[in-house]
Chain A
Amino acid sequence: MIKLKLQSLHKRDSELAQSNRQLEILSNGIFKIGKLPKFRDKIAGDGHLTLRPKKLEILQINLGYMCNQVCEHCHVDAGPDRKEIMTRETMKQCLNIIRNTGAHTLDLTGGAPEMNPDFRWFVDEASKAGIADFIVRSNLTIIRANKKYHDLPEFFKNHNVHVISSMPHYTRGKTDKQRGEGVFDKSIKALQDLNAIGYGLSGSSLRLDLVYNPTGAFLPGNQESLEKDFKKALSEDFDIQFHNLFAITNLPIARFLDYLIASENYEDYMTSLVEAYNPTAVENVMCTNTISISWDGWIYDCDFNQMLDLKVDSKVKHISNYNEELLNDRDIIISQHCYGCTAGAGSSCQGKVT
């Protein structure tokens, strides 16, 4: 049983549940008085007056904000108390897009996407579209949460799904601190279940990647070094194998923003992000090759803009009038949270970008 640490910002009626309030915080204070440059000015210094999409490669679809966990730093503000779930009608509209997209990767996320009652139907239908890389972002513990989810590894295998799972650390203490008591043990068991049917094994085509994000107000270290440490520890301690580790920076929005403010780390963290700004990362930020679709069919430049309710700056704002060519001709909406994707080696849902 996972012991939940907290409730979502929405459930708590926190002012940070409002995206406008978050954007206000990100534009005021140190950025307003000029102590730190705004993201727009920073990239302009490198010759980017606007940020524009390149070729669309990844279609990321959020199936809902409901989750069996309430992780301390969740940028979605997901949890069991979130009721936003994609309907089968919206899924049907998404399927039309999936069948006709030029993107080579389909990336299903949440919340815990598996909690959507139509999840299996949707995966079944979507897998027929022949997308090269079909990702499901699974939090692992869902596989052990309830008997009805125990066969998920087999289900994933039958649909050749690429599983990407969060694992903030290879030690119990650090993982449970961020994701809730009991998460580590359940995650280990789920990883063993996935390994048992071939996921993550060396040479296996059943892809299993892990996502690392820092447990506190600091940036991720070198992705390759972390991957080496994770592989060694998980193999020695639990006989677990996986393919790659993606190191992701925590973006200062939603519950992580709440944590930064409450722990009085906000200004230092934003300063660290700005100081670690890497112009090369700007060239490859994920919003230039990804679009994000919300549970109710709205379109965003990325998952973070979705959570800040910053819909794309395009005539095509909703999947009901989806047009990939038109959509690709737009300026990407930016704010100070974007520094999270350009710090150090850069950060995206697929890890570093440089």
Chain B
Amino acid sequence: MANSYYDPADLRKFGDITEWSEELGTKFFDYYGKVFEEGALTAREKSLIALAVAHTEQCPYCIDAYTKDTLQRGITKEQMMEAIHVGAAIKSGATLVHGVMMMNKVNKLDG
């Protein structure tokens, strides 16, 4: 076994998941490929969204893949960092907005 739960080389083996469940794996990769095609959003915009989500999900494979993908699309490091801040803002906002729930409870119990 590798000394780490995450091995960068495993990213290249992602497609292998199809071997143990061909139908579902194939459907997933067809869907995945379709999602990232040019559509109402450009492939460039989708790549930046993917980079931001890769960080909120804290997925090392996705960060590796979409950092490279955004660079290939000519996206600057400033744009990449701004996208991550969007993810971080939503993530922290999602935590803080629950503070209203806490406030409601406090007001009910001890108001």
Contact = CB atoms under 8 A, between A and B. Distances in A.
Given A225-B44, A229-B44, A275-B12, A171 B72 contact: no
Given A225-B44, A229-B44, A275-B12, A174 B72 contact: no
A37 interface: no
Contacts of A216: 71
Nearest to B72: A221
A226 interface: yes
Contacts of A229: 44, 74
A173 interface: yes
B74 A221 contact: yes
A214 B71 contact: yes
A345 to B, nearest CB: 12
B42 to A, nearest CB: 7
B71 A222 contact: no
B68 A218 contact: yes
Nearest to B44: A225
A225 B43 contact: yes
A267 B75 CA distance: 24
A114 B94 CA distance: 59
Contacts of B43: 222, 225
Nearest to A233: B74
B105 interface: no
Interface string A190-202: 0000000000000
Contacts of B85: none
B76 interface: yes
Given A171-B76, A173-B76, A225 B71 contact: no
B42 A225 contact: yes
Interface in A196-243: 212, 214, 216, 218-222, 225-226, 229-230
B12 A226 contact: no
Nearest to A272: B68
B71 A218 contact: yes
B91 interface: no
A271 B68 CA distance: 14
Contacts of A221: 72-74
Interface in B14-58: 42-44
A271 B42 CA distance: 28
B87 to A, nearest CB: 22
Nearest to A230: B74
Interface in B75-105: 76
18 contacts: A170-B74, A173-B76, A216-B71, A218-B71, A218-B72, A220-B72, A221-B73, A221-B74, A222-B73, A225-B42, A225-B43, A225-B44, A225-B73, A226-B73, A229-B74, A230-B74, A271-B12, A275-B12
Given A219-B72, A271-B12, 17 more contacts: A169-B74, A169-B76, A170-B74, A171-B76, A174-B76, A214-B71, A214-B72, A218-B68, A221-B72, A221-B73, A221-B74, A222-B43, A222-B73, A225-B42, A225-B44, A225-B73, A229-B44
The 8 closest A-B pairs by CB, nearest first: A221-B72, A221-B73, A218-B71, A218-B72, A218-B68, A226-B74, A229-B74, A171-B76
